[in-house]
């Protein structure tokens, strides 16, 4: 008889982006020591996703187990531009330590950090061996970013062989369908819709459906979904970025959403691209003046 998965609800809520619900479901009795560490790691990652970085940094002390130390490094990385170099230096040092270097959470955090750094080869150095569903799902994301849907599909097949109905498998399938495009967009939309109906409608799932709608040219429907997502989390960077794009296609003002994004997430790829375009435009003006 299989042992019950005491952390299923916590884990599943985290994957779906229901971070507060995950935190609320974290008080579980009868956990093993390993389960306690996994639970605490997930809870602190929820707080990171909610932007409560200093809380995580102050709560995890230097004697905490390796997975928690890794999560603390992730919080440090996101806490300020000045902390990034120190976090990257520390994680490389820990990954080189034979005693802890193969820890799954440490490798996952390394993958997340180097994915954010757009250093895909460095990310894959630590994630490509897999070992957990979350590491394999991260591989799917990395290969999609590299425009290698063929490699992403191989990673998805691994996940499907392990558990086709797993939430991460379903999400990875939808991400891949979105990147492939064409008739696959409708399939991605159905996955996001199914997850919304089976569990709950979160900002992450609403954004997924909205991106599908935009790719199918249904910008009015996309806007409705994004406004709903904004009501759930007014600071979510993907919602704000997608709303900017959607409003531009609809011919509606987008400056408010962009200003919010620029203020709360100055490192977001859309902010960087717009800033680079503005600088190029200014240089072009100067060259003809």
DSSP the chain: -PPP-TTHHHHHHHHHT-HHHHHHT---SS--HHHHHHHHHHHHHHHHHTT-HHHHHHHS-TTS-HHHHHHHHHHHHHH-HHHHHHHHHHHHHHHT-TTTTT-HHHHHHHHHHHHHTT-HHHHHHHHTT--SHHHHHHHHHHHHHTT-HHHHHHHHHHHHHHHTT-HHHHHHHHHHHHHH-TTHHHHHHHHHHHHHHHS---HHHHHHHHHHHHHTT-HHHHHHHHHHHHHH-TT-HHHHHHHHHHHHHHT---HHHHHHHHHH-TT-HHHHHHHHHHHHHHHHHHHH-
Q: Is the confidence at residue 72, as pLDDT, over 70?
A: yes
Residue 273 pLDDT > 90: no
135 or 277, which is more confident: 135
* More confident site: 283 or 264: 264
Confidence of residue 256 (pLDDT cuts 50, 70, 90): confident
Give pLDDT, residue 281.
Answer: 53
Q: What is the pLDDT of residue 286?
A: 61
By percentage, how much of the chain surpasses pLDDT 90?
72
**Residue 265: which residues within 8 A CB-CB, separation 6 or more?**
237, 240, 271
Has residue 267 got a pLDDT over 90? no
Distance CA 120, CA 142 (A): 6
pLDDT of 81 > 60? The answer is: yes
Tens-place pLDDT, residues 88-134: 999 999 999 999 999 999 999 999 999 999 999 999 999 999 899 99
Q: What does the pLDDT read at residue 282?
A: 55
The per-residue pLDDT for range 181-229, each reduced to its tens digit, is 999 999 999 999 999 999 999 999 999 999 999 999 999 999 999 999 9
Q: What is the pTM of this model?
A: 0.90
106 or 253: whose pLDDT is higher?
106
Position 29 scores a pLDDT of 86
Q: What is the pLDDT of residues 154-183, one digit of tens each?
A: 999 999 999 999 999 999 999 999 999 999
If one compares 178 and 282, the residue with the highest pLDDT of the two is: 178
């Amino acid at each position: 008889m299989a042992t019950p998965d005491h952390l299923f609800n916590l884990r599943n809520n985290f994957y779906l982006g229901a971070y507060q619900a995950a935190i609320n479901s974290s008080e579980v009795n009868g956990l093993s020591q390993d389960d306690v560490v996994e639970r605490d790691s997930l809870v602190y990652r929820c707080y990171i996703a909610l932007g409560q970085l200093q809380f995580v940094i102050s709560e995890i002390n230097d004697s905490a187990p390796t997975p928690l130390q890794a999560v603390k490094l992730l919080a440090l990385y996101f806490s300020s531009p000045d902390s990034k170099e120190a976090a990257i230096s520390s994680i490389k040092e820990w990954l080189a330590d034979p005693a802890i270097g193969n820890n799954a959470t440490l490798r996952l955090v390394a993958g997340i950090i180097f994915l954010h750094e757009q250093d895909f080869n460095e990310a894959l150095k630590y994630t490509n061996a897999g070992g957990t569903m979350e590491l394999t799902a991260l591989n799917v994301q990395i290969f999609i970013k590299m425009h290698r849907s063929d490699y992403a599909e191989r990673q998805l097949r691994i996940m499907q062989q392990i558990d086709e109905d797993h939430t991460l498998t379903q999400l990875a399938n939808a991400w891949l369908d979105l990147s492939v495009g064409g008739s696959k967009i409708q399939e991605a939309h159905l996955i996001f819709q199914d997850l919304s109906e089976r569990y709950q409608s979160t900002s992450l799932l609403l954004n997924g459906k909205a991106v599908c709608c935009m790719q199918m040219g249904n910008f009015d429907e996309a806007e409705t979904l994004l406004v709903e997502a904004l009501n759930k989390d007014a600071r979510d960077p993907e919602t704000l970025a997608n709303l900017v794009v959607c409003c531009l296609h609809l011919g509606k003002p987008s400056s408010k959403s962009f200003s919010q994004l620029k203020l709360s997430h100055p490192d977001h790829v859309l902010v960087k691209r717009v800033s680079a375009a503005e600088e190029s435009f200014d240089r072009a003006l100067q060259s003809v003046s």
